[in-house]
Amino acid sequence: MKLLNEAKHLIKDNIRDYGMYIALIVIMITFTILTDGLFISSRNISNLLDSAGYIAVLAVGVMLVIVIRHIDLSIGFLAGFLGAIAAILLMQVGMPVYLVIPIILILGICAGSVTGFLVAKIGIPAFVATLAGWLIYRGAILLATEKTGTIIVNNDAFNAIGNGYIPSLTVVNGVHLLSLIIGALAIVFYIYSMFNNRRNKIKYNFEVVSKEIFILQLIFVSAIIGYITWILASYNGLSWTVIIMLLVVMVYHFITTKTVVGRHIYAVGSNPEAAHLSGINVSKITFLVFGSMGMLSALSGILFTSRLQSATTTAGTLFELDAIAAAFVGGVSAAGGVGKVTGAVIGALVMATLTNGMNLMNVGIAPQYIIRGGVLALAVIFDVFTRRQRA
């Protein structure tokens, strides 16, 4: 009984963090039942994760932008434009993949830095600056693709980024061994980081959950990681898109939780004036966040172009709205200063799960938009409610 009460209090006190995970699990179970198990099949889960990859990458970047109380509307068409540039460099210029990818990422950083300069140094509101970028990159895509309309990418190495899978050491009864090993290492890393975090909290006299609850947390999360890994390993293994998505999460989670820059980002988002008075260079942080957003937009463009194996005039349409929706569903606060990298990715998975499940059920496109809009509204209402409860 004591254990149950502690679990209830833990969920109640951390409802912002746990709510999105609970929602994702409930949605997945619901669609699994409604589709007679088709939703949870290895093939569908693999396709779902791959289709969510380019939005999840954008969601991580836009989450940080919202944390510092700004917005970026240009990221969708920037991703589409840079994806088109990648296709041109590959197919018309003849450059190798290992040169094209870093060039596109650098161009993304430059584009994001220009936006950051306009916002941080010139003082243009982010909404206006990025709306201008939205129009510019929309026109740039049309210019880049005006000759052919669609640029087909016939490059196996590049297309493998969005459609390929990591090699397997061996296949045992249809299961990819390397994917299982990576999943096992992920579980070990998770358990180690949780023990290390708990030890540090105890060392500095911070409050921690009981050993029983802590062990239950480890078992629950490890079981989920193991199950998802098994599902994917039973199909074609982990895709390169999933690997890239995981690397982005790991890098940005480390930056936001373990570095001075990460602490400064949240300080600026919580109170820009106080952050400035405490010696934090607010303009520099703004510049860095928008530069990072540009790089992630470039990576998103690479993933999308690779998945489609082509660059089109409509690439990037509504990407920014999907990413912003994913960030809010993932727990970022409209008031700034609150948000997690893992939350943004979970938000992207929630939105992708809704779309995937409704497609499997043959739900019309109009109801899909209405339902997704309702989920976004509920996420923001939830954010407002939790902030009022803590006030």
Tokens 């190495």 belong to residue: 157
C-alpha 154/C-alpha 330 separation (Å) is 36
Q: Which residues of 186-214 are buried (b: 16+ CB within 10 A; e: fewer)?
A: bbeeeeeeeeeeeeeeeeeeeeebeeeee
- What residues does 175 pair with on adjacent strands? 172
DSSP for 60-86 reads: HHHHHHHHTT---SSHHHHHHHHHHHH
What does residue 150 show for φ and ψ, rounded to 5 degrees? -135, 130
pLDDT, residue 268, reads 94
Residue 11 has pLDDT above 80, yes or no: no
- What residues does 312 pair with on adjacent strands? 150
Q: How confident is the model at residue 1 (pLDDT cuts 50, 70, 90)?
A: low
The alpha carbon of 241 is separated from its chain's Cα centroid by a whole number of angstroms, namely 12
CB 367, CB 348: distance < 8 Å: no
Mean per-residue pLDDT, 283-289? 95
**Among 303, 313, 295, CA closest to 147:** 313
pTM for this model (two decimals): 0.92
Residue 379 has pLDDT above 80, yes or no: no
Question: For the chain, what percent of residues have pLDDT higher than 90?
Answer: 58
Q: Return the number of other C-beta atoms located less than 10 Å from residue 167's C-beta.
A: 8
What's the mean pLDDT when you consider all of the chain? 89
Residue 127 has pLDDT above 90, yes or no: yes
pLDDT, residue 184, reads 92
pLDDT, residue 194, reads 86
pLDDT, residue 236, reads 86
What does residue 176 show for φ and ψ, rounded to 5 degrees? -80, 120
SS3 of residue 312 by DSSP: strand
**Amino acid symbol at 331:** G
Residue 128 has pLDDT above 80, yes or no: yes
Cα angle 231, 237, 238; round to 5: 100
Q: Which residues contact 204 (CB under 8 A, 6 or more apart)?
A: none
Mean per-residue pLDDT, 25-34? 90
User: To which H or E segment does residue 152 belong?
Assistant: strand 150-152
Mean per-residue pLDDT, 3-14? 61
Please, which contacts does 370-373 make with residues 24 or more away whose CB atoms are closer than 8 Å?
372/325
SS3 of residue 38 by DSSP: coil
pLDDT, residue 244, reads 95
pLDDT, residue 21, reads 79
Mean per-residue pLDDT, 62-66? 96
C-alpha 267/C-alpha 29 separation (Å) is 38
Mean per-residue pLDDT, 172-198? 88
Q: Is 333 left (phi over 0), alpha (psi -120 to 50) or beta?
A: beta
Question: For the chain, what percent of residues have pLDDT higher than 70?
Answer: 93
pLDDT, residue 356, reads 93
pLDDT, residue 13, reads 58
Mean per-residue pLDDT, 81-95? 94
94-108, 245-259, 288-302, 329-343 — which is least confidently predicted? 329-343
User: To which H or E segment does residue 310 belong?
Assistant: strand 310-312
Give percent helix, percent strand, percent coil of the chain, each to the nearest 5. Answer: 75, 5, 20
pLDDT, residue 382, reads 74
